[in-house]
Chains A and B, each alone.
Chain A
Amino acid sequence: MSNNEPMICSKCGAAMNHHAMKIDYSGGLPGHDPAFDGPLQEVHTCPNCGHTELREV
C-alpha cells in the first residue's frame, strides 16, 4: 500500500515526514481501493523548510 521510501523535498533536498493520509476527491487515477471514494494521497512535510507535498498511494 504505502511506499516506504521517504519523499525528498523538491525545494531543499531533505527527507520529508509523512504525517497524514487524505482521500483525493478531485477525480484522480482509477484503480484505487474500493473501500474509499477516491485515491489516497500521502501528505509529507519537510522538517527543514516546511514545504508540503503529496504522493499518491
Chain B
Amino acid sequence: MSELAVEYSAMSNRPLFIPVILGTVRQGRASENVAKFVFEQVKKRDGVETEFVDVRELNFPATDAGEQIKDPKFSQLCERADGLVLVVPEYNHGYPGMLKHVLDSNLKEYIHKAVGICGVSAGGFGATRMIENMLPVMRELGLVTIFWDGNFSGAQKLFDENGAIHDEATHVTRIDKFLGELVWMSKVLRYGRENISL
C-alpha cells in the first residue's frame, strides 16, 4: 500500500481542463456561434486545455435515463475536467431537456468542480431566467457555480454571415471576466479535491 501523505502536497501540475459544452440539439441553433466564440476565448487562456462538446453529436438514447446511459467518452471527459463551460439557450424560460438528459448521465465526475454558464437568448435578457433555473441543478450535481455569467442577447443578430460576432471587444471583455473567475474556482477546487480531506 502506498504511504499516506501527511502534508499538503502542491497541486498537481497538469494543465487545467475546461471543456465547452454546447447544450442544444436544435437545428439552426443560434447558440452554436456563441459556443464557438466562447471556445476560442477559452483556448487563448494560458495553462488551460479545452475541448468542444456538442450534445447533438453525443447521440444519447431517449429510452432510458441517468447513469444507466453513461457514455464512456463523455464521462471520461467530465472526470478529466476541472471546470465546465455550459453554453445554453433559454427555451420557454428554461434549459433544454436534452442538456439535462446528458448531464444526468454522470454524477461523481462533477463533485467539487467549477461550472460557468453562458446563456443565449433571442430576446434582451441574455437567458438570465434559464441560468437561474439551472443553478439548483448544478448544486445537486455537486458542481460549484461562479458568480459571473455569460449573457448573449439577441442571438439571431449577434453574428455576421461569416459567424463573426458584432462588437467583439465588448464580448471579449465580458467573457474575460467570466473565464477569470472560472479558472480561479477551477484551481481552488482542484487543490481541494486533491488535498483537503473531509
Segment of B26-34, B117-125, B145-153, B190-198 engaged in the interface with chain A: B190-198
Using an 8 Å CB-CB cutoff, how does the interface string of A1-19 with B read, 1 for contact, 0 for none? 0000010100001110111
Closest to A12 in B: B2
**Chain A nearest CB: distance from B118 CB in Å?**
25
Residue numbers of A with Cβ under 8 A of B are: 6, 8, 13-15, 17-22, 26, 41-43, 45-54
Counting from the closest, the 7 A-B pairs by CB-CB distance are A47-B194, A45-B193, A43-B111, A15-B2, A20-B111, A19-B193, A15-B4
The complex places the Cα of A46 from the Cα of B2 at a distance, in Å, of 12
Contact A18 B111 (CB under 8 A): no
Q: What DSSP secondary structure best describes chain B's contact surface?
A: loop
A-B contact pairs, 27 of them (CB 8 A): A6-B4, A15-B1, A15-B2, A15-B5, A17-B194, A17-B197, A18-B198, A19-B112, A19-B193, A19-B196, A19-B198, A20-B111, A22-B107, A22-B108, A26-B66, A41-B108, A42-B198, A43-B108, A43-B112, A43-B142, A45-B194, A47-B5, A48-B12, A49-B12, A50-B14, A50-B190, A52-B109
Closest to B80 in A: A50
Does B160 sit at the interface, judged by CB under 8 A? no
Contact B142 A50 (CB under 8 A): no
Name the interface size band of chain B: 20 to 34
The complex places the Cα of A6 from the Cα of B67 at a distance, in Å, of 26
Q: What DSSP secondary structure best describes chain A's contact surface?
A: strand
Which chain A positions have C-beta within 8 A of B197?
A: 17-19
The complex places the Cα of A46 from the Cα of B192 at a distance, in Å, of 11
**Chain A nearest CB: distance from B90 CB in Å?**
28
- A8-B2, A52-B79, A52-B109 known; A21-B14 Cβ under 8 A: no
The complex places the Cα of A51 from the Cα of B108 at a distance, in Å, of 10
Which chain B positions have C-beta within 8 A of A6?
A: 4
**Chain B nearest CB: distance from A7 CB in Å?**
11
Contact B4 A52 (CB under 8 A): no
**Chain A nearest CB: distance from B30 CB in Å?**
34
**Chain A nearest CB: distance from B79 CB in Å?**
6
Closest to A46 in B: B194
Which chain B positions have C-beta within 8 A of A53?
A: 108
The complex places the Cα of A52 from the Cα of B197 at a distance, in Å, of 14
The complex places the Cα of A54 from the Cα of B196 at a distance, in Å, of 16
From 32 to 80 in chain B, residues with beta carbon under 8 angstroms from any chain A beta carbon are 66-67, 79-80
